[in-house]
Chain A
């Protein structure tokens, strides 16, 4: 299908009083057209910042974002406007991200009015109805206000807003983590249906491993601003290589009380992303770390075809774990 979006050595540093905060540090990812890339990692690992960089809600410190082969980082003004509508975003908190003083109809009409993709009051109204049907919102809710609706319906408004401008690529920034589990499934299924019907490409940011397993074709695991492992979703679950990914996967609850499983408990805290030392960032918490890990930063390399890992010890600890 070909690559739709690619980031090359994407970096975002924030200057803070204590030094430089490496929020996103040298992230190179590519996403195939029509597929879903799951981005997982714990809070503060830079996954949301990565989403915002791709949305151009913040400007990267360095690096490129290639969309359909064009670098969108330097684009501004008019040149960017045409690209703006190719990439859309679904936000985490469907309450805070909807203006409380706008009705459902107004909220969904806003991107149409702004983009001028649909002209005329009637045409916009008709398109709003279509979009509401598409995301499964009843017509009678058109004049309701977001606070009258439950989380799932609110998130459907967010999805309709994102879809309104016919994007190719949607950054889903934890779209279900603020929702109840039963509603999470509805929204995830809706997203998958939309992907199938409209050929959408997703970057799905989440900290929930079960969600990412359900929806992703490929998974990238982030730790402190860096991608530590990236491969096909099946491959990640079958053949986890990075010790951090292993710990993450072992934390997925199994809905069967008879299965005993050894959980890998990580020791220590997330080390600071401010002025990180030039070593493996996971080394302090890694059960397999040796001097080598504290001495140099591991390269992000392709260990197996399509399976990228950034770890000095790949291969060795893996075998230990299998026993």
Chain B
């Protein structure tokens, strides 16, 4: 029998430092890949910061978002007004902070709605196939034939301005792409060999969906959802800018931009800061989405 050496403290330290996880876990592996991706982490941190801002907007903001001070109108960035003021003398810094709350919340609403409608339709189409698939997907094709922003404009101009109207508009315009992505994800696993193998074992359809299809598609779905966050902020800003989105004085970033459009040649700061906020947010979501895509795809190891 081989002699077993008593481990020296150095060996113990080495073993602790290089502790190998007992088992492989796809989740842990994905987290590791995500953390290693600098872009993804930057995106993640920015989004976390924005969330903190959105939650604490009332605490951080020096002014109320709708507080007007005509004496201080059209001021450039200064110590009193970090981002300057607009034509009504409202503090743009406060408006941008509150805007994070509105914009993120609305974008989340859009994404949830789009996922519950478009995503669900895509999953149904992909899972059942045949006629169901054809009917749903042709409807989506019709929706997709209309440019996304144009469709959203049509819907909001028909329904009027306001939060529910805008959510509806963005939901409809995001439905085609969401349903197509989800359908593709489901098709991918529906025809997988392991699904057929489980069927041979006698796995019921319900269990198949819960235990095999959902765990194997959740990664892809997360990516689509995160991607859609950025896209909906974008559309929301476009709609507000075009005057068919929200109603003033809501401090939504697109709307701030829209209100500033008459003055931006003389007072570019009125456009600069809300535009920067939109830019940073969309960028962060895209970075996070790309990072998630890479992290959740084990083939990219």
Could you list which residues of chain A lie within 8 angstroms of chain B, going by C-beta atoms? 55, 57, 81, 84-85, 88-89, 91, 93, 96-103, 110-111, 114-115, 143-145, 147-148, 158, 161, 165
Q: Is B199 an interface residue (CB 8 A)?
A: yes
- Kindly count the residue-residue contacts between A and B in the assembled complex, taking CB atoms under 8 Å apart: 67
Is there an interface contact between B200 and A88, defined as CB atoms closer than 8 Å?
yes
| 21 A-B pairs in the complex with CB atoms less than 8 angstroms apart | A55-B200, A81-B202, A85-B202, A88-B200, A91-B193, A96-B192, A96-B194, A99-B212, A99-B216, A100-B26, A100-B216, A100-B298, A101-B215, A103-B23, A110-B201, A111-B201, A111-B202, A114-B204, A115-B201, A161-B201, A165-B202
CB-nearest residue of chain A to B27: A101
Q: Are B201 and A88 in contact (CB under 8 A)?
A: yes
- CB interface residues, B 208-227, toward A, < 8 Å: 211-212, 215-216
B201 and A145 contact, CB distance less than 8 A: no
Residues of B within 8 A of A100 (CB): 26, 194, 216, 298
Looking at B22, B194, B204, the one whose CB has the most chain A CB atoms below 10 A away is B194
Q: Is B198's CB within 8 Å of the partner chain A?
A: yes
Contact A57 B200 (CB under 8 A): yes
Give the contacting residue for A143; candidates B23, B192, B201, B211; CB below 8 A: B23
State whether the Cβ of B196 lies closer than 8 Å to any Cβ in chain A: yes
Asked if A114 and B194 make an inter-chain contact with CB atoms under 8 angstroms apart, the answer reads no
In the complex, what residues of A have CB within 8 A of residue B23's CB?
A: 103, 143-145
Most chain A CB inside 10 Å of its own CB: which residue of B24, B200, B202, B204: B200
Docked complex Cα distance between A96 and B207 (Å): 19
A148 to B22, CA, bound (A): 12
Known: A93-B193, A145-B26. A99 touches B198 (CB 8 A): yes
Instruction: Write out the residue numbers on chain B whose beta carbons fall within 8 Å of the beta carbon of A57.
Output: 196, 199-200
Label chain A's interface by main secondary structure. loop
Q: Does B197 sit within 8 A of A, measured CB to CB? A: yes
Closest to B214 in A: A101
B298–chain A nearest beta-carbon distance, Å: 7
Given contacts A96-B192, A99-B212, A101-B216, contact A110 B203 (CB under 8 A): yes
Q: With A and B bound together, what is the CA distance between A55 and B198 in angstroms?
A: 12
A81 to B24, CA, bound (A): 34
Restricting to B121-145, which residues have a CB under 8 Å from any CB of A?
A: none
Complex-state Cα separation, A165 to B200, whole angstroms: 12
The reply to whether A145 and B196 form a contact with Cβ atoms under 8 Å apart is no
User: Would you call B202 and A98 a contact (CB within 8 A)?
Assistant: no
- A-contact 0/1 string along B177-193, CB 8 Å cutoff: 00000000000000011
A84→B204 CA distance, assembly (Å): 12
